Amino acid sequence: MTRQIHRGSILHFPKASLNPSEHYQYWEDGVLVVKHGLIAHLGDAKDFLQAETTPLAQLPIVKHQGLIIPGLIDSHVHYPQVEVIASFGKQLLDWLNTYTFPAEQQFIEAAYARGQADFFLQQLFAHGTTTASVYATVHPQSVTSFFEAAQSHNARMICGKVLMDRNCPAALQDTPDNGYYESKQLIEQWHKNGRQLYAITPRFAPTSSEAQLAKAGQLAKEHPDTFIQTHLSENPNEVQWINELFPDYSDYLAVYEAHDLVREKSLFGHGIHLTDREYIALAASGATINFCPSSNLFLGSGLFNYQRAQANGVSVALASDVGGGTSLSMFANQADAYKVCQLQQTSLSPFDSLYLCTQGAAVAMGIDTQIGNLNVGSEADFVELDMQPTPMLSQRLNKARDLREQLFAINTLGDDRVINATYVAGKQVYKKGQHYVATAV
């Protein structure tokens, strides 16, 4: 691939920060140079062009009217649940039985799974998301179909086969041994195959026996650089159920700890109803909580205490949790995160919330040398935002006095309409108004 030069306003967070409002980089007129799918240069446009020896007319410059930011990261989402997004009237445990489990049974067919994977990826790109940590179903072919679809776009994705051996329909059950061997095969086939990464995926403790959790922990030990993804303390009835199913453990997290599932690269969805001990243990382990505000509001699960997590030093990454969540847009989820924090007397800065779905998520997940920022050497996953997407947002942005106000308006009012173009490894995979065509690399 030849060199591409993208010129426009550019914003990103170059490093890990506890105060992203003060640690962002912004160029009103910047350039981002892409070579072989990686970022080869980032900086001020005029400085770059002055130093450039190639005649200006020969430079392959793409001019962007909108704001360039890193590709967004959705750290917890279920691709088989996209078709049950916006389903009425249930809280977590009834939601699973009524909507999720019937939908997931269709993924026994690889062709069905591939169709849904293609649709899901197309939707992610249309919403500006270039990396997601994705739950498949219990069927190994649902993972294969997903990774094949992701590989066809050269997109960096994380996915895993759900492990469930009890408390779910028989059609969705595996066994401790089958789950172990199928996961192991998928790890060997897909983990670090191109840009794909594997996540060992026990759905949550109630749907796995202790024997299965132990096998998941064994896998995690045998493959220490894989991710682990599961759910933790989402709903009060679920926490009560944990107490009944696992009476010997002091709390929910202790069940996972006892089975070697709490470590760096462990991603715990929700973490709403945690004890003091669980916050401290999560921080000490280096694990991450996925803050899923739209899902938590929609399913009536509760309010994630972002301030308390931060005060305890727990890593946090923002997530949609679709289909419990109501939007794949990480902007819509930033808007909901702001409201969840407001209900707890905290105003979440727009820089903080953008950080939580770009560099902050990448740092928490240990992949910030690859994605999450626009640093030289990082993979060229980025998004151009449309700064005039709707009459309402256009007027609001025109009245904004500074970048912070602009960003807050985009976060609060934005959805897929604010995405003008999405690039994966330097290649455009989505452009507003153009019919999407899937192309193999």
Give contact residues for Zn ion (rule: CB under 5 A): 269, 321
* Shorter beta-carbon distance to Zn ion: residue 256 or 382: 256
Minimum Å gap between C-beta 172 and Zn ion is 15
Q: Give the dihedral of Cα atoms 157, 79, 260, 192; nearest 10 deg.
A: -20
The nearest distance, CB 352 to Zn ion, in angstroms, is 23
Q: Which two tokens stand for residue 4?
A: 């591409």
Neighbours of 311 (CB within 10 A): 11
**In terms of CB distance, is 104 or 321 closer to Zn ion?**
321
Tokens of 199: 């996540």
Smallest distance, Zn ion to C-beta of residue 37, A: 31
Kindly report the number of other CB atoms within 10 A of residue 276's CB atom.
10
User: Residue 53 carries which side chain, given as an amino acid letter?
Assistant: T
Three-class DSSP labels, 91-132: CHHHHHHHHHHHHHHHHHCHHHHHHHHHHHHHHHHHCCEEEE
Toward Zn ion, which CB reaches closer, 118 or 321? 321
Nearer to Zn ion (CB atom), residue 294 or residue 422: 294
Q: What span, in angstroms and rounded, lies between the C-alpha atoms of 129 and 152? A: 16
Residue placing its CB nearer to Zn ion in the complex, 39 or 337: 337
Question: Minimum distance between the CB of residue 203 and Zn ion, rounded to whole angstroms?
Answer: 8
Q: Closest CB to Zn ion among 80 and 269?
A: 269
Please say whether the beta carbons of 279 and 312 come within 8 A.
Answer: yes
Closer residue to Zn ion (CB): 321 or 336: 321
Minimum CB distance to Zn ion smaller for 269 or for 414: 269
CB 283 within 8 A of CB 272: no
Quote the least distance from Cβ 142 to Zn ion, whole Å: 15
Beta strands 227-232; 266-270: pairing state: parallel
The smaller minimum CB distance to Zn ion, of residues 168 and 409, is found at 168
**In Å, how far from its chain's centre is CA 351?**
17
In the complex, least distance from residue 228 CB atom to Zn ion, rounded to whole angstroms: 14
Side-chain-side CA neighbours of residue 392 (13 Å)? 8
Q: How far is the CB of 231 from Zn ion (least distance, A)?
A: 6
* Longest alpha-carbon distance in the chain: 72
Query: What are the φ/ψ torsions at residue 178 (nearest 5 degrees)?
Result: -60, -45
- The first and second tokens of residue 338, run together, are 């702001």
In order, the DSSP letters of 334-363 are: HHHHHHHHHTTT----HHHHHHTTTHHHHH
Min dist CB 406 to Zn ion, Å, is 32
Least distance (Å) between residue 21 CB and Zn ion: 29
